[in-house]
Amino acid sequence: MSELSMIKPWAVAMFALGVGMAGPAAAQLAQNSDAPVDITADELEVVNAQCLAVYRGGAEALQDTVRLRANVLKIYYKPGSGSARAGGGVGSSCGNELDRMEAQGDVYYVTPQQRVHGDAAVYQAESTTITITGDVVAARGQDVLKGSKLVINTKTGDAQMQSGAKGRNKPGRVRTVLYPKSQAAAPAAPR
């Protein structure tokens, strides 16, 4: 039997009640939010030895008004950072403090102000940063920003877009298209 074995439905419920609920200080996808992180998917696998929950199939983590969506969402918890549950059981060696989330495949990070799409993302709870990589496109209204790596501090809102391409006229450099307010409000001209 593989380490990533399917577990009984009652064990999943125990996991969700114990390990699966990170406290507000441990996960902050939404800026300055104390809201819980609500995760849904088509299926869930738990790997106790790694303090890992793997959500597959339209996985989505929602906190307040912020959404992280991907084909696969892996949630890693810090080992032993919480109190062990009486009688052992699912996740008894894992704490309830979130370490990181890894999003894979068709990743969307959406806030009320912006929409970001990429190929993969990693949210680090300790630094409250989400790093989105691949073909990254960020949009705010009509304004668009493109690059290969976007790092956002979810606590402060500070962000940095990067690209591997360097030098004028090189394809793949960081690119931004900004629309003046007067143009952003006007309808697009027919082509």
Q: What is the pLDDT of residues 71-121, one digit of tens each?
A: 999 999 988 744 443 333 344 578 888 899 999 999 999 999 899 999 999
Q: How far apart are CA 188 and CA 46, in angstroms?
A: 49
pLDDT of residue 146: 96
Domain ranges of the chain: 9-125
Any long-range contacts for 11-16 (C-beta under 8 Å, 24+ apart)? 11/46, 11/89, 11/90, 12/44, 12/46, 12/90, 14/89, 14/90, 14/91, 15/46, 15/53, 15/90, 15/91
- pTM equals 0.74
pLDDT bin (cut points 50, 70, 90) of residue 160 is very high
Is the domain 9-125 a CATH 2.60.40 member?
no
Which candidate, 96, 95, 73, places its Cα nearest to that of 24?
96
